[in-house]
Amino acid sequence: MEAEEKKRSSNFIRDIIKKDLEDGKIEKVVTRFPPEPNGYLHIGHAKSININFGLASEFEGKCHLRFDDTNPSKEEQEYVDSIMEDIKWLGFSWGENLFFASNYFEQLYEWAIYLIKQGKAYVCDLTADEVREYRGTLTKPGKESPYRKRSVEENLELFEKMKNGEFPDGARTLRAKIDMSHPNLNMRDPIMYRILRATHHRTGDKWCIYPTYDYAHGQSDAIEGITHSICTLEFEDHRPLYDWFIDNLPLIHKPHQYEFARLNLNYTVLSKRKLLTLVTKGIVSGWDDPRMPTLAGYRRRGYTPQAIRKFCEQVGVAKANSVVDIAFLEDCLRDDLNKRAQRRMAVLKPVKVVIENYPDEKSEELEVSNNPEDESYGKRMVKFSKNIYIDRDDFAIDPPPKFFRLASGREVRLRNAYYFTCTDYKVDDKGEVIEIIGKIDPETRGGWSKDGRSPKVTIQWVNCEDALDAEIRLYDRLFLKENPEQVEEGKDFLDYLNPESLVVLKNCKIEPSLIHSKPGELYQFERVGYFILDKDSNKENLIFNRSVTLKDNWAKIKKKV
């Protein structure tokens, strides 16, 4: 157990929960994951999910899924559905603990009346601009609103009228009466309610006043008996306000907020607003485009939940912001797929090879392993005959230094088959190689030689006669800039897009057994990378996505940029 604990990356929240349980401060840990249904979940959310659901399960507590749906103008059912699907896909379960902040609108409204009656909240008629102006700055205290001294009766009456729709949108707000010269700006009479006529995805047109995040969140935590309300660092400055509401309301359960550093990934944007822009401008094909850092995108790209969870676990939970290298995420996937993926042969840029010394009519079946790392994956039969395809890039007319693959007069190993020596080749009018001619050594069936000689390089191939055509989509980072969120003057984050983030190859040749591949099944195309069948694929038009290359070759590419 101790060794197990050491293996885990540091997580200060785990330590806090452990201590609270040991000290008897809490009996059971209750966390929550509170997404706003205004976009799809991304890899940053996966970190939060992993923390909240992960810690609850580790300490045999519960984790609630609570939709933080207090802003009807941007929220949609599509997002609610996708969020639930993604959490389940990651392997977590909220069981019966599915909640919506909108379920608490009635209770929150009553508590607002309570605060008014206590003289701790008031209706304010200042416009949004005026509220901002009156708030002051970090160095300048704020000014009290002229409406701050309204009587309890007047406030009660106006607040009811706000609720009943008697004022236009934005005309009035309900504000907490705290302290306009408080050093923390969040404490300068923050807004609790705003008037907004928008149809809510659950409450419809019942309400035209909506609580703010600050007013709704902690109270929702209190209602649900959350013990550890875990959020990202930008809410640290909101904690005094979180506590103020908790302390000034007649609550039985008093939750606490803890902040951790959000996940940032280089070459990636994680703000939902920016991700939405990519979708609405058609720069990507949708929220699940395999280049998107959304869980739906990663799933379609071929990421496994295991790889993402391992990544989240290994980056740890810290109090200081940092940026994680995307190469680390890719490595987590490689590690996982290396164990999991079946091996197949595929040729992305096919060129025909004619084996002169192989009989015209003959063909044979070779037995090959589905995963050399795990014999339980079994074996399959692969056909071999006189005409096969290899990759154009595996042949050179004038091999440069360090090019050990095929060239005239050279011998290579054809994976799982024979040693092959090139004797000749044909080119078209443009000088492009269109056919390679050569001989196999019949004594090397299976890909090894009794005399102990071994070619430097093994290349993959597919049999011409029964090979299938496929479209292969090669994905790369969506941005060329390491930090696309840091935009130079006069530029936009879209100026840093990688024009080669998607390269589509048609007429690739793949092994016939791949006709049986199912959505979600992952393959290693030997020497090429890891691939998954895309959802656009069908039996007539097979499409595979490259999940990740076999090695990290970005360092090389980056030098060219």
According to DSSP, residue 42 is labeled B
If DSSP codes are grouped into helix, strand and coil, which group holds residue 196? coil
Cβ of residue 376: shortest distance to ligand ATP, in angstroms? 37
Catalytic residue among 163, 272, 309, 343: 272
Positive or negative, the CA dihedral 324, 326, 329, 334 is: negative
Contact indicator for 207, 258 with CB cutoff of 8 Å: no
- Is residue 36 a contact residue for ligand ATP (CB under 6 A)? yes
Active-site hit among 262, 380, 392, 439:
262
Residue 36 annotated as catalytic:
yes
First to last CA, the chain: 47
Tokens standing for residue 133: 């102006």
Site string for ligand ATP, 47-76 (x = CB under 6 A): xx-------------------x--------
What number of residues does the chain have?
561
186/248 with CB nearer ligand ATP: 186
Cβ–Cβ under 8 Å, residues 315 and 260: no
CB of 32 to ligand ATP, least distance (A): 9
262 binds ligand ATP (CB under 6 A): yes
**Token duo for residue 244:** 């103020």
Q: Is 270 in the site for ligand ATP (CB under 6 A)?
A: yes
Identity of the residue, 259 or 476, whose beta carbon is nearer to ligand ATP in the bound complex:
259
List 367's β-bridge partners, or say none: 381
Q: How far is the CB of 555 from ligand ATP (least distance, A)?
A: 25
Within 8 A by CB and 6+ apart from 389, the residues are 347, 350, 351, 352, 353, 461, 462, 464, 467, 509
Residue from 36, 144, 471, 521 carrying the catalytic annotation: 36
Which window, 39-47, 89-97, 289-297, 310-318, contacts ligand ATP (CB under 6 A)?
Answer: 39-47
Q: Tokens representing 130?
A: 């005026």
CA distances from 225 to 124, 238, 247, 255, 256 (A): 32, 20, 15, 7, 10
Q: Which residue is closest to ligand ATP by CB?
A: 44
d(CA 260, CA 235): 9
Among 44, 54, 255, 484, binds ligand ATP (CB under 6 A): 44
* Cβ-based nearer residue to ligand ATP, 47 or 64: 47
Helical H segments across 304-439, by residue range = 305-315, 326-340
Residue type, 74: K
**Of 238, 272, 340, 481, the one binding ligand ATP by CB under 6 A:** 272
Stretch that binds ligand ATP, among 43-51, 138-146, 496-504, 547-555 (CB under 6 A): 43-51
- The amino acid sitting at 134 is Y
Interaction between residue 263 and ligand ATP (CB under 6 A)? yes
Closest CA to 32 of 221, 241, 251: 221
Nearest distance, CB of residue 187 and ligand ATP, angstroms: 21
262 tagged catalytic: yes
Site for ligand ATP in 321-360 (CB under 6 A): none
Q: Applying CB under 6 A, what is the total number of residues that bind ligand ATP?
A: 15
CB of 87 to ligand ATP, least distance (A): 11
The residues assigned a catalytic role are 36, 262, 272
State the residues that interact with ligand ATP by CB under 6 A: 34-36, 44-45, 47-48, 68, 231-232, 262-263, 270-272
